[in-house]
Chains A and B, each alone.
Chain A
Amino acid sequence: MRGGGRGPGAGGRLMTYALAVFAVVAALLPVYWMLTISLKRQVDQLAVPPKWLIFEPTLAHYADAFLERSFAQYLVTSAIVAVSSTACALVLGTLAAYGLARFRLPRKLNTRVALWILSTRMFPPIVTAVPIFLLMSDLELLDTIASLVIVYTGFNLPFVVWMMRGFFREIPRELEEAARVDGDSRLGALRRVILPLVTPGLAATAVFCLIISWNEFLFALTLTQTDNAMTLPVGISGRVTQYEIEWGVMSAAGVVAMIPILVFALAVQRYLVRGLSLGAVKG
């Protein structure tokens, strides 16, 4: 068992469990609360003292959100955008990471380019929002799914490049040399030999990219003007009306917004930790 963890004594063990339980409760309680809000009638939502467990449940908010209003459409849009931008970023970024990891470029370009790619994550999104809005407007891509995919790919690329670069550097060159001796081309070696080895890393990276794209708010807000391309976060924030905040609809949409990410991430959770530890964090 790695990492220096040792089984503590009985008292220590109890403490460990207690702390862990406390942490988990703190993490999940608000989520539970949101779930209950989505199932409560309005008059119960605001009741004091708060109704933790006993209340008259209703599915009205879910029906309202997904049947009456356009949240089903927002859900589909979010899904398409997240998957597409993750796929694009993975393909482009992995190739670039491979290029940066395996080939020695002149004038320290490897590190320089890698650092420049990372630095693009630094610019405050607020101000790129306006020029990108105008750019998309000129390209007649405003209010389309394509514009979001392009922008989110740009968000995900630095992350993919950095993660995958780390993973690639972990793998000894000899493996590829062996494959090439067998007659493989460079890229063939990549595909047949290396990629299977970094699958955990790809999975971890993919999950992060999906989360980033799925949850993004500012650019979705700026680049979408009608239901054509509106994503879930923007739709949810739109429930803040001038006179009342539609907590029920917001929570119902919020719960549904959470589920795909949770399911997917929990499925690859093992790989997440292992993948990260194999890669970038080793430096």
Chain B
Amino acid sequence: MQTEKRFSDSSPNPTQRFVSIIILLALLLLPFSACQRGGGNGKQLTLAVNSGVEGSALKQAAKDYEAQTGVRVNIAEFPYANLFEKELVDLNARTGAYDLIMLDDPWFPKFAANNSLTDLTPLYEKRGLKGPDDDFVPASIALGRHPYETGALYALPYVGNSQLFFYRKDIFEKHGLKEPATWDDVLAAARAISERETAGAPNGGRMHGYVMRAAQGNAVVADFMPIFWAFGAEMFDAEGRPTVNSPEGIAALRFMLELGKYSPPGYQSFNADEVSAHLLQGTAAMSINWPAWISAFGDPAKSKVIGKVEFTVMPGGARPGRAEIGNWLMAIPRASKNAEAAFEFLVWATSAEQMKRSALRGNPPTRKSVFTDAELMAKFPAYPAQLRSLENSRPRPRTPFWNEIENAFGIYLSKANGGELSPEDAMNQANAKIAEIIGRGK
């Protein structure tokens, strides 16, 4: 008691006590804010990449680059949807967090429209070049120009994806089916397989003739567009007005629902992982998708169908089949503080040698020489088909509203697949919504 009294006599008044607490707090927070933005001396680059095989390849390349040149490359990795959001916010707010961004080609019009990407031509000219060399596949380079195909160059293509059509050649041979050349062939084969292979899957269960991605959003739209185009439909007419509810468009959607009957139940929410799981587990016999999976088919830890899957170009219909292109591009945000260093990396990463390495890591290239490289062709027998597909592919509509349109269109397609709306109603409502989205931008 005695000591306490003495102590409390000399204790400071409440306000003083209080201030000391605040000082303590400030000291507590200080170290954390300081030690983050370090390392401004050595050259550093920050890359935003996609979670997945494309991003992994770039991550590896970055490590190689660091070993070669000593420039530190930081990677920020995000899943597809998040990557878009992060990049969009970074570009709009011009925070300069990223020096290089990987982007899926449909995002490009929106990013480029806001003047937030760096024009690459002046950077080429500084090196005494006019622009990228001719080895790039023209369809891929066209994606990085704003306006499409003719404008200034803001991005270089890194991964040359275009859709392929996969099918189980062993099952087709078993039932005497030819390789499908039109969508009607596909439907007939799907029907036949579904009816006959009631116990054909490796686990003794049913095999389905077809499997598709119909999850709302990017998935269902990406899988639907080839059918849509093959039926002769177009999203916009020559004046830029939406025409998804044309007779051809409605027929295409109706066809998709037919095909859905031979797909595994629940396909209405399938995304890439479910589709690949069905193909790998052997429970489905046909599908559209991106070439990135080809390597998984041969992996015993993942696949039950090693050596049984074949790929071909997109089936046609009223119009010849054209695959949808889906390249991953790389661009430099205008707000980046290391544009020159980023450009060095960009040119290095898209060089033929580096692209070959990326190809060995599972990414289709965007250079003709790499597609026709002997070593790669031996390893990836599908390359000739892929190159043809890529050269002949077409992009999704190049509009800065693509994300909203894809979202809305995806919702209506999803409703149709779920039986909530008839094909006519779905397309009519989708058309109205797309018109509204475009109209808002005027």
Query: Complex: how many Å from CA A95 to CA B25?
Result: 13
B272 to A95, Cβ gap below 8 A?
A: no
Inter-chain contact B302/A146, CB cutoff 8 Å:
no
With both beta carbons as reference points, the residue of chain A lying nearest to B51 in the complex is identified as A241
CB contacts (< 8 Å) of A259 on chain B: these are: none
Q: Does A226 contact B (CB under 8 A)?
A: yes
Bound-state Cα–Cα, A48 to B206, Å: 13
Cα distance A239–B52 in the bound complex, in angstroms: 9
Return the chain B residue nearest A146 by Cβ: B33
Q: Could you say which residues of chain B place their CB within 8 Å of the CB of A48?
A: 203, 205
The answer to whether B32 touches A144, judged by C-beta atoms less than 8 angstroms apart, is yes
Answer whether residue B138 sits at the interface, using C-beta atoms and an 8 A cutoff: no
Interface residues of A in 208-263 (CB under 8 A from B): 221-222, 225-229, 237-245
Please determine whether A225 and B28 come into contact, CB atoms closer than 8 angstroms: no
Q: Are B79 and A239 in contact (CB under 8 A)?
A: yes
Judged by a CB distance under 8 angstroms, whether A188 is at the interface is: yes
B292 CB within 8 Å of chain A: yes
Instruction: Answer yes or no: A142 CB below 8 A from chain B CBs.
Output: yes
Q: Do A225 and B293 touch across chains, with their CB atoms under 8 A apart?
A: no
A188's contact among B8, B53, B95, B277, by CB below 8 Å, is which?
A: B8
Inter-chain contact B276/A244, CB cutoff 8 Å: yes
A282 to B71, CA, bound (A): 61
- CB-CB under 8 A from A237, the residues of chain B are 79, 82
Report yes or no: A141 in contact with B33, Cβ–Cβ below 8 A: yes
Q: Do A244 and B74 form a contact, CB below 8 Å, given A88-B25, A145-B32?
A: no
Residue A43 at the chain B interface, CB threshold 8 Å = yes
- Residues of B in contact with A, size category: 35 or more
A241 touches B32 (CB 8 A): no
The listed residue (B4, B11, B29) touching A84 by CB distance below 8 A is B29
Check if B293 sits within 8 Å of A226, measured CB to CB.
Answer: no
B-side contacts of A146, CB under 8 Å: 29, 32-33, 36
Question: How many whole Å from A238's CB to the nearest CB in chain B?
Answer: 5
Residues of the A chain whose Cβ atoms lie less than 8 Å from the Cβ of B440: none
Please tell me if the beta carbons of B272 and A242 are within 8 angstroms of each other in the complex. yes
B344 within 8 A of A: no
A41 CB–B CB distance under 8 Å: yes
Per-position contact with A for B1-25: 1 when CB-CB < 8 Å, else 0?
Answer: 1001100110111100110010001
The digit string for A65-98, where 1 denotes a CB below 8 A from any CB of B, is 0000000000000001000100110011001000
Q: Is A46 an interface residue (CB 8 A)?
A: yes
Q: Give the CA-CA distance A228 to B98 in the complex, in Å.
A: 13
Q: Is the CB of B97 within 8 A of A84?
A: no
Residues in chain A near residue B8, CB distance under 8 A: 182-185, 188
Asked whether A187 is an interface residue with its Cβ less than 8 Å from the other chain, the reply is yes
B79 touches A238 (CB 8 A): yes
Q: Which 3 A-B pairs have the closest CB atoms?
A: A146-B33, A241-B52, A226-B76
Q: Which residues of A contact B (CB under 8 A)?
A: 41-43, 46, 48, 80, 84, 87-88, 91-92, 95, 133-134, 137, 140-146, 149, 182-188, 221-222, 225-229, 237-245
Report 15 cross-chain contacts, Cβ distance below 8 Å, ordered by A residue. Answer: A43-B302, A46-B281, A137-B93, A146-B32, A185-B14, A186-B14, A187-B17, A221-B82, A225-B90, A226-B46, A227-B74, A238-B82, A242-B50, A242-B51, A243-B292
Q: Could you tell me which B residues sit within 8 Å of A by CB distance? A: 1, 4-5, 8-9, 11-14, 17-18, 21, 25, 28-29, 32-33, 36-37, 46, 48, 50-53, 74-80, 82, 86, 89-90, 93, 95, 97-98, 203, 205, 272-273, 276-277, 281, 290, 292-293, 301-302
